């Protein structure tokens, strides 16, 4: 409901501004950009997704090796249960449980760090996209840019779709080679 109020307020403001602009001889120009499509198709985001998949695969192998080690330790512990003194068994069981808990925490840390690294990359891409859309608006005398999700209806020729141009400019400004999710050093412990 708030978004609709903001949209109507902007349109009302735009109508008043359009009246003033019409008197000055320039048109009120509204543009629409499909931000979701741009973020889905941007080369930089695709590169970030690929890097994240590579990092996930690398750490999945590492975690699986550690899990296998824990399973083997658990099996050995169960086999030795009958021959170990109760206090020794309890101590080894506690060590095993501590190792399992540490592995669980490591997995959570890895996931959190990967998510944070990917999210930071997306924030940077979105900030550059906003800059490029701002430049386009200035260059083309666009008065208002709405996202496709905010846009419901337009009558006449007053709306310009800048999605493809914004995507092109974003891809020129951030190449896949420039994208680096820098989280590996945090996880190699």
pLDDT, one tens digit per residue, over 3-56 is 333 332 333 344 444 444 444 556 788 899 999 999 999 999 999 999 999 989
Bridge partner residues of 145 (DSSP) = 31
Helix (H) or strand (E) holding 159: strand 159-161
Rounded distance between C-alpha atoms, residue 27 and residue 16, angstroms: 12
Predicted TM-score (pTM) of this structure = 0.70
Instruction: Give me the residue spans of the domains in the chain.
Output: 2-187
């Amino acid at each position: 409901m708030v978004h609709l109020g903001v949209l109507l307020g902007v349109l009302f403001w735009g109508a008043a501004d359009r009246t003033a602009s019409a008197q000055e001889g320039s048109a009120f120009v509204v543009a629409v950009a499909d931000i979701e499509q741009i973020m889905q198709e941007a080369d930089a985001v695709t590169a970030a997704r690929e890097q994240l998949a590579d990092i996930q695969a690398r750490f999945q192998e590492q975690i699986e090796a550690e899990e296998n080690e824990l399973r083997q330790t658990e099996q050995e512990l169960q086999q030795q249960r009958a021959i170990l003194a109760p206090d020794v068994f309890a101590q080894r069981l506690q060590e095993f449980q501590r190792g399992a808990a540490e592995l669980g925490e490591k997995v959570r840390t890895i996931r959190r760090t990967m998510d944070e690294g990917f999210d930071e990359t997306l924030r940077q891409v979105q900030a550059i996209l906003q800059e490029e859309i701002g430049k386009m608006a200035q260059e083309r005398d666009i008065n208002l840019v709405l996202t496709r999700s905010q846009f419901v209806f337009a009558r006449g020729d007053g709306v310009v779709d800048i999605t493809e141009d914004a995507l092109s400019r974003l891809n020129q400004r951030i190449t896949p080679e420039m994208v680096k999710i820098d989280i590996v050093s945090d996880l190699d412990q």
